[in-house]
Chain A
Amino acid sequence: MNRRIFLKSTLAASVLLGMGGCSSLSKEYWLPTGDLGIVIERADGKVALVNTSQRKKLAEIEGLGDLSHASAVFSRDERYAYIFGRDGGLTKIDLIGRRIDRRVMQSGNSIGGAISQDGSMVAVSNYTPGGVQVFDSQTLERVLDLPAIGKNGKASKTVGLVDAPGHRFVFSLFDAGEIWLVDFSSGEPKVTRFEDIGKQPYDALITPDGRYYIAGLFGEDGLALLDLWHPEKGVRRILPDYGRGEARLPVYKMPHLEGWAVAGNKAFIPAVGHHQVLVVDINTWQEIDRIPVHSQPVFVMSSPDSRQIWVNFAYPENRHLQVIDADNHQHIQHLQPGEGVLHMEFTPRGEEVWVSVRNKNEVQVFDTQTFEKLATLPVASPSGIFFTARAHRIGL
């Protein structure tokens, strides 16, 4: 049964949508957005709009450019998604209009972004020419161009950009080995730099409460930790020697860190160059355990109830998916959904997980209790999956 209400477009609606220069009247699809989500169709520059309760693909939105490694954040009203494309495109998608609202080419090459605490700004981190650009989330007009020139005087690629409480953005400089904190609380951006935080920070996470920012290091063992309640204490190194004395295995895909990897008082983090998931006590920041896993972990994600940790792997072992019990660190499931398992996204309360299986052109939906496959959606070269519930989570 189709519950959509098709609103006939009116001139007023098109004015409200702010489509300056768009003369045609556009259709709107008035659905509650709380159970919507998007899936990046990386090969075709498209985004699939999905309904997470019906497990259905509703529409495809085209014209987003190179979407390899694309990610997304949502406006707090859950109407708009901001997609960060590899080619430097920042695209604002209207989930009600099912079309592109606005799009700007903001750099030559970007890697990800974040939306501010109040939803008024969207920040994008860039590889080429490096640095961070900040945009008005309504108009996509640029409000700040922040080149990331490190202590070494060179422009740096930026990674691990997240929003933090207090109208702040935090990101890391891959080439320069620094963490920068940009504070917008006074209206004017104020930048605090933390230098020499470690070699080649490759990604970062912020804990779900917005307190700790943790950057993973590729160039050496360990992670860099910044307490955002006490930035004056500076950045400290944690797990400095997790791989000491062991030869590093080749890393065929950079691991990712996301806010979801924190479960209760533990953080679960992919080891770099070791087939292990590291477990850290976030009260003491001491290592508790190393869980052996199938191969080089890429995403290590906690279910919303913090009970399960889902892990996918780098090429050529990316057909595997392992599930670990966050309580006792035992393996509880080993799935093989198909070649190219790129990303997982839990439904808001975690009863299901959606999995991108790139080479099979499928998104598979699993029950997180029985591990039964509940649905298969045809989606071309799916990568990132993003549900609108992210709109209300710090760091996502």
Chain B
Amino acid sequence: MTWWRSMTMTEVSRTRPAEAVPATLAMAGAAAGENPDLNAYTWLAPPPEPPAGSGGPLAGFGAAIKANICGLGWPTDCASGILHGYRSPFDSTVVERLKAAGGICLGLANMDEFGMGSSCEYSSYGPVQNPWRQGFTAGGSSGGAAAAVAAGLAWFALGSDTGGSVRLPAHCCGVVGLKPTYGRVSRYGLVPFASSLDVIGILARSVADAALVLSVLAGADPRDATSLEAPFVIPDPDVPLPGLTLGVPRNLTAGLQAADVREDFARVLAVAGDLGLQVVDVELPAADDAVQTYLVLASAEAASNLARYDGSLYGIGPREHGTGGPRSTAYGRYVAAARTVGLGPEVKRRILLGTHVLEAGYRQRFYERARARRKVLTDQMNAVLSRIDALILPTASTGTFALGSRLDDPLAMYRTDCFTTPASLAGLPALTIPTGLDERGLPLSVQLVGPHLGEELLVRLGRTLEQALAFRSRKEAPWHRRS
């Protein structure tokens, strides 16, 4: 086994900084050889040039970038046929900042098309395999990003989280997933799915690594009107954690069916108690409807955002697929032909749903009601978080699941997001930490949700829990044994 598959960036920076670049080059080579089996990358960058300078907090470390984040010349196609052949003419803000910090892009990570999915099966490149066990999903939609990190084929990865798309893959692949507060990281250059929910997040091997990357990415950006003047400073690891109170939203966790998830969560709460953290029960009644609220709002925004993909300005047009004539074809038929061929089944389902909930006669019953419900949930979460320090709950109600097992049941797939959508709707930061393995030997995790701009607190809490749970020192993805 090669050491660079399991060491963290912070460990390497501390103990063998000169080896970061050679390790990243070795990682790039391994990715080229292993990606046909894992399918974590949709595109591998040319072999990276060693960075000219030695400076920067990410100097020499290679990252997987989700295929909906733009980089100059990259085929940022969102794993969609409708953007086939598109090359981005610019760098997103996060890629600019990553490069300025000395980071290297290893390639674009596979994903559910346009970020719509919880299993990374709705990709025009085919499903991502879970590095813990082939035949199981890597979670979605940032499944390729999480799989690359878990398999040791990237030091860290950038993903996007609209309703749980960083945290669920982190849960399925046994890595750390950080969804920052909405606006803390610029979305400029992130292809939008649902603009009021989309957040660029981080997948990493440890909480400290995720914090390091966030310190590079966070801060205001004049090109994103929703970005916040809120840079992130890594909290000092030597300052002891004060007595904090964690709240368990019992109305959500009471229904946990899977015994192994229930037992793992109880164990985590016991560990938190041993650390001197106070654990109390809280109620978030509006979170019971979070999946429906999210589904209506995200689909509505997606239907609007994806209206621009008509095949005329980039990506495929009907002509490329032989289903239509030249561009003088009647516009409506031309657009329908391009979208019918270029968009996948889940994206079509969401666009149809989004169109329906916005239609006159239905808009108030669905869209306006969901908007109001989001406000109620946000108020409830903020009120609870004014009394306690953070929420603690599982990331998902089960471990990962077999590829194909939920494809014919979209509602079951949507319900996968029941523990992750509340933080997304409220725009709050959330951190997923691997905790243990389920009865099948596949990863489980816990999720911490903090107050607005409470990432510093989440990182401190997360580091402490991570150390106490010692998941990474006990377990690693079997994929590592390949070399």
- Tell me if chain B binds chain A: no
Interface residues of A (CB under 8 A from B): none
Residues of chain B having any CB pair with chain A under 8 Å:
none
